[in-house]
Amino acid sequence: MEVLHREGLARVGRFKTPHGWIETPTVMPVINPNLIVIDPQKMKQLGATAVITNGYIIRRSPDLNRKATASGVHSLIGFDGPVMTDSGTFQSHVYGSVEYGNQDMVEFQRSIGSDIGTIRDIFSEPWDSHEQAARAVDETFRRVEEIGNTGDMILAGPIQGSIYPDLRKRSAKLMSGSHAGYLPVGGVVPLLESYRYTDLVSIIQASRLNSDPSKPLHLFGAGHPMFLAMSVLMGIDMFDSASYIKYARDSRLLFPDGTRDLAKIVEFPLWSPIYNKYSMQEFLKLDPETRVREIAWHNLTAIFMEIREIRERIAEQTLWQYVEGKSRSHPALFEAFRWICRNAGATLPFHEISRKSPFHFHDRMSFRQPVARRLIRHARNIMESANDIWIIHPEIFSGGDSQDPVLRDIYERTEAQVMFLWNSTPVPIELKDTYPVQQYIGSTRKLPGDFVPVRIRNKTRVIRKADLADILSHERIRDMDMNQVRAIADYQFMPGAGMAIFGMGSTVRVSRSTGRIRTVSESGRILATLRPHDGFFTLSMDGAMKLSATGRERFRVTVTKDSAEYNARGFNVFFKFITSHDPNILAGNETLVCNEAGTPVAVGRATVPGTEIGKYRSGVAIRVNHGTVEEPDA
């Protein structure tokens, strides 16, 4: 799996199969080999890069078996891209048993040229007891382990465990450690059909946080546009679904926010392939076979339109906002989104230090977003350790013009920790330009109980306009710019990093036009540049050396000798050359690149969090900004 874009657990990526690359996230349309309604090759027009069909049905049908054995599954269904096959697990679950064993079915899938073949796993129902589900997890893992070499075929090892997070966690770890290269999350169709989305996001989170991120994570049987974005937000890469044809046979049309009966539709939307092709009267008079095919094509269009939107949202890092909006389309979705917010602390290490897009603040639930959680946790730690806290009342400053000279006048005349209210919660004034404090879009509506300042051991003072005359009569006793750069570094890296990087000899340069901090230097050499779009630092090699000199094994990766020489010239770091790394690295944050002796040779930004760096074998791990060699070789 190679990651191209990401937002938290969600990612746009790609992985290689014998019949080409699959770009994720995407949906594999289910192809019934006995009754192909829409030409699979034509599905490529909508963006279908892979499909899934039933290996068990092919095997038990003499005619299909003969054709697939002679020419391969791709020729059988008429699709030249990657094809995944399943093994009859669902049929075995429904009918009690099937006539082929696990190894037998995997070998058959390999023999007909499947790109991804599935073991005969044990399907668990939501109402199974914990003991029953545990046995299914163990047996499914045993069946993966009994499979030998599958050649070029990627083996799919399903994650089972019913509705029990501990079993999903265990199954995910077992499958990740096996030779299965593809991880479907199984046993979820009954939950999807009954709108048990809260159970589903719990299952997905347990599976994603405990699985190998280099292996694609697939949600079996999920293809409704309404739930795709939320699933991707939680870490799903792949889907499969026969919903496009099942709903079509019931005269039901898929839309991004739900399903509608044909009989209740007044007109087709502009994006639908049916629009302007038929009038409603003409459409209703079509023969049943044609009408089903047209609705199926509409449904596939809805599915892949949603997939394209999700990919774009991840690239611009607005998927969380998108899911938050979509969650309002159904009460069950909204309850699932509330669960995601309540449990977002578990996903915090996977989220970038900042995003490309502004932070959207709607209500108190927005504080649950990982980037807000990180800020609030930091602010609380500062308040706990401070001796005196001044909170600036909104009548003086409420987050508008962060360069208001009154702020400097107040700050530089006290030794207290100065805070202001960001959406009614106190944050350090030093972070006024740092993501997400300044880079946000908020509601003008006041929160319930607005301005009830947090008081910690009676050491909090609220500063109002009436207090300004007295405050401004005092002498200036500190430098706001220098304290601000140190506070940002403490937030970006760790407490104490600010003083370590920007010591007593450092100087701050500000923009003449805006008054905002631009660079920090020492002895005429730039240590860091403050990025205007998110208010965090990009380190020079001099700054990187100072961070490294703290003596901690943090914020760094170690690379091979050959890679170190390459990276020192300013070239990116690839995953496969990393020999050790800090698991606490944040995606998007400055990261030191060290040679085998532990000496920094480059500095850049991590593309994935430290929890994932050791898992990938292809792609760029650190996008290098500076190396110890000034200019790359021509």
Active site residues: 86
φ/ψ of 87, rounded to 5, equals -115, 5
- Spatial contact of 559 and 576, defined as CB atoms under 8 Å apart: no
Handedness of CA 73, 79, 81, 84 (dihedral sign): negative
Q: Tokens 């020079």 label which residue?
A: 540
DSSP run (H or E) holding 181:
none
Q: DSSP state, 177? A: T
Q: Tokens 């169709």 label which residue?
A: 189
How many whole angstroms separate alpha carbon 543 and alpha carbon 521?
9
Helix (H, G, I), strand (E, B), or coil: what is residue 528? Answer: strand
Q: DSSP state, 476? A: P
Q: Name the token pair of 321.
A: 């906002």
Q: Tokens 């998007």 label which residue?
A: 588
- In sequence order, the 6+-apart residues with CB closer than 8 A to the CB of 547 are 493, 497, 500, 501, 539, 555, 590, 592
Residue 20 region by backbone torsions, left for phi larger than 0, else alpha for psi between -120 and 50, else beta: left
How many whole angstroms separate alpha carbon 40 and alpha carbon 296?
12
- Bridge partners, residue 24, by sequence: 13
- In sequence order, the 6+-apart residues with CB closer than 8 A to the CB of 70 are none
Handedness of CA 545, 549, 553, 554 (dihedral sign): negative
φ/ψ of 258, rounded to 5, equals 160, -160
Tell me how long the chain is: 634
φ/ψ of 359, rounded to 5, equals -75, 130
- Spatial contact of 199 and 219, defined as CB atoms under 8 Å apart: no
Please state at what angle helix 319-326 crosses helix 288-316, rounded to 10 degrees: 130
- Spatial contact of 109 and 10, defined as CB atoms under 8 Å apart: no
- Spatial contact of 199 and 226, defined as CB atoms under 8 Å apart: no
Parallel/antiparallel/unpaired status of strands 537-539 and 573-574: unpaired
